Chains A and B, each alone.
Chain A
Amino acid sequence: MPESQRPFGLHPVHAIILAFPIALFAGALVSDITYLNTAEIQWSNFAAWLITFGMIFGSVALLWAIITFVRRRQTPYRGRALTYLVLLAVMWVAGLVNAFQHSGDAWSSVGTFGLVLSIISAACALAAGWLAYSVPGTEVTR
């Protein structure tokens, strides 16, 4: 199937990689909320690692999304590919800032700012997943 007619869907490897930031950023958000409710520092430590690994897998997913967009920019799937890319980009930028925020000490590792960033990253990751997984067919369909 020519590039222009392939539906917008993810390569299985891409899909597996995307699953990580979805789970990790969502987990970070839950950890942050728990920290703010309990002031038990270990929850903030959990969130810091979840964000870090969310960024590692999220970076791969973002790169892949950029490539997908470049390849699909002339196809009817341009809009979807761009939305997917923007969602991952926002997730990634918020995640990067949040990784630094979580290097603060005690309450400053989360606070209101960290919570907002965690919400943004988790929401973008979930939305990107919704978009990517709700389309039939995959990148490998030929």
Chain B
Amino acid sequence: MNLKALAAATAVLVLAACGDGDQGLDQTGPNPELPEIKERLVPAMNIATPAEWGDDLPTVPQGFTITPFATNLKIPRQMLVLPNGDVLVAEGTGGSAPALRPKDVIAGIIKAEGKTSVEGGNRITLLRDANGDGVAEVQTVFIDGLNAPYGLAMVGSNIYVANQDALLEFDYQEGQTQITTAGRVVTKLPSEINHHWTKALTASPDGSMLYVGIGSNSNASERGMMAEQDRAVIWEIDRLTGAHRAYAEGIRNPTALAFHPETGALWAAVNERDEIGPELVPDYITSVRDGGFYGWPYAYWGSNVDPRVRPQRPDLVSRTIVPDYALGSHVATLGLAFVAGNGFSPQHANGAFVGMHGSWNRQNLAGYKVVWIPFSGGRPTGKPQDFVSGFLTDDGNARGRPVGVAIDPINNALLVADDLSNAVWRIAPATRAPAPASTPATSG
């Protein structure tokens, strides 16, 4: 009979893992609906099992074509389009967070289920589509021997690579397909533990400053605040001297940085915290204020206190800036690319593409797509619209997971890195795409 009681207690625990109280709230835009905090004994973990594309492709709206620009990459993350149209893609996986608790051991095993079995490349690959058929026929190792590279930027004739532990500078000449010289270390980057290891990178419009996103070393301070020195910040780095200062703080995991082409404001795509409910906390994009504090770990979405963090800091809670635009909880925004000027298509003349890697901490899978957010005057003006989707199958398996997004302004295409199927997808307006096969350069 006691055995029965034990069995019943176990069953209750197992059942507690199902049904996570998702209310289907509208959590996009400047004023997301926020539910009460809902902590559970067993964190909701639903990781989409990897599946194959077969002959299928991601779904794009009518009037656009999608092609596999490059395949067989080794965990592609962020991209940079060079002036001649060549595309660089950073490949790799970082982080060296030791397992401190039994939970870390178990969660690591479960999360690995949703990832590719390919080992990260620790390199940058160059992709070139000279004949304009939407598939890169040149795919070469551009820079090898890197340490979990992620962010990429170009200023003048220099290419900058943000490894997980250092910002590197390389000399580049147009047309080059390989760099073998060692990079110059502009500055070391915080890399202890590296719970969030990705170092997003962008350059100021005038090229004098580089901005690096440095994620937190924990979900919500559970490694102690000593581990958070120089974490959850955006660094502004003098390109020539390497001197840095914290440009913004309390910004949990800024995974993509970009300057708005019209306003010159720095924007970040940011991943917020987990394990306080399926609809907390929304990930977001926001313009980043110099000296701004964005709440982590003490508060979220303005002055909403996270009770898990002790000692609490009411002084910092009251200073917390409300982000500009929510994209939904746990969607994992990893890519950000602006469109302005001539526009991408008539319907996509001014706005931003955002890549969402997809959720693990809620039953109803969220993210796993690329959305379009219309802008006007440098501010978001409407709801996000699905632009590239179909990464999930009907039965909840994932065929791909979007990471970085980039605009190729020369060929007017959107590039999407996918670190599950190890591909770069290329989306272009059907009417404006160069006619394939008929290009003289490719005949024969």
Q: Do A and B bind each other?
A: yes
B101 touches A102 (CB 8 A): yes
* Closest Cβ–Cβ distance, residue A48 to chain B (whole Å): 5
> Once the chains are docked, how many angstroms separate the CA of A86 from the CA of B5?
11
Stretch binding the partner chain, chosen from B49-57, B278-286, B307-315, B418-426: B307-315
- Quick one: given A103-B101, A105-B308, are A40 and B224 in contact (CB under 8 Å)? yes
B102 touches A49 (CB 8 A): yes
B43 touches A103 (CB 8 A): yes
> Once the chains are docked, how many angstroms separate the CA of A89 from the CA of B9?
11
A48 touches B221 (CB 8 A): no
* Closest Cβ–Cβ distance, residue B217 to chain A (whole Å): 12
A66 touches B43 (CB 8 A): no
Tell me the interface secondary structure of chain B in the complex: loop
> Once the chains are docked, how many angstroms separate the CA of A45 from the CA of B100?
7
> Once the chains are docked, how many angstroms separate the CA of A66 from the CA of B2?
9
Residues of B within 8 A of A41 (CB): 221-224
Residues of B within 8 A of A42 (CB): 224
Residues of A within 8 A of B3 (CB): 66
B55-111 interface with A by 8 A CB criterion: 100-103, 106
Return the contact of A105 from the options B10, B41, B102, B218 (Cβ within 8 A): B218
Q: Is B364's CB within 8 Å of the partner chain A?
A: no
> Once the chains are docked, how many angstroms separate the CA of A85 from the CA of B275?
35
Per-position 1/0 for A97-110, Cβ under 8 A of B: 10111111111110
Per-position 1/0 for A62-96, Cβ under 8 A of B: 00001000000000000000000110010011001
A49 touches B101 (CB 8 A): yes
- Quick one: given A40-B224, A66-B2, A96-B9, are A108 and B101 in contact (CB under 8 Å)? no
Return the contact of A100 from the options B5, B42, B218 (Cβ within 8 A): B42
B103 touches A103 (CB 8 A): yes
B103-133 interface with A by 8 A CB criterion: 103, 106
Which of B2, B41, B43, B106 is packed against the most chain A CB atoms within 10 Å?
A: B2
Return the contact of A104 from the options B308, B309, B311 (Cβ within 8 A): B308
Q: Is B6's CB within 8 Å of the partner chain A?
A: yes
Return the contact of A97 from the options B41, B106, B311 (Cβ within 8 A): B41
Per-position 1/0 for B181-224, Cβ under 8 A of A: 00000000000000000000000000000000000001111111
A100 touches B13 (CB 8 A): yes
B102 touches A52 (CB 8 A): yes
Per-position 1/0 for B20-55, Cβ under 8 A of A: 000000000000000000010111000000000000
> Once the chains are docked, how many angstroms separate the CA of A93 from the CA of B240?
61
Residues of B within 8 A of A86 (CB): 2
Residues of A within 8 A of B275 (CB): 104-105, 108
* Closest Cβ–Cβ distance, residue A83 to chain B (whole Å): 12
Residues of B within 8 A of A16 (CB): none
> Once the chains are docked, how many angstroms separate the CA of A42 from the CA of B310?
13
Residues of B within 8 A of A40 (CB): 224
Per-position 1/0 for A35-68, Cβ under 8 A of B: 0000111100100110010000000000000100
* Closest Cβ–Cβ distance, residue B53 to chain A (whole Å): 35
Residues of B within 8 A of A103 (CB): 42-43, 101-103, 106
Residues of B within 8 A of A45 (CB): 100-101
Which of A85, A93, A102 is packed against the most chain B CB atoms within 10 Å?
A: A93
B222 touches A93 (CB 8 A): no
A89 touches B6 (CB 8 A): yes
B6 touches A93 (CB 8 A): yes
Residues of B within 8 A of A48 (CB): 101-103
Which of B13, B42, B224 is packed against the most chain A CB atoms within 10 Å?
A: B224
- Quick one: given A93-B6, A96-B13, are A39 and B101 in contact (CB under 8 Å)? no
A100 touches B41 (CB 8 A): yes
With CB as the reference atom, state the residue of chain A lying closest to B226.
Answer: A41
- Measured CB to CB, the residues of B under 8 A from A are 2-3, 5-6, 9-10, 13, 39, 41-43, 100-103, 106, 218-224, 275, 297, 307-311
**Known contacts A41-B223, A93-B5, A97-B41; 10 further A-B pairs (Cβ under 8 A):** A45-B101, A49-B101, A89-B5, A102-B101, A102-B103, A104-B275, A104-B308, A105-B218, A106-B297, A108-B39
A-B contact pairs, 26 of them (CB 8 A): A39-B311, A41-B221, A41-B223, A41-B224, A45-B100, A45-B101, A48-B103, A49-B102, A86-B2, A92-B6, A93-B6, A93-B9, A96-B9, A96-B10, A97-B13, A97-B41, A99-B102, A102-B103, A103-B103, A104-B308, A105-B308, A106-B297, A106-B308, A106-B310, A107-B310, A108-B307
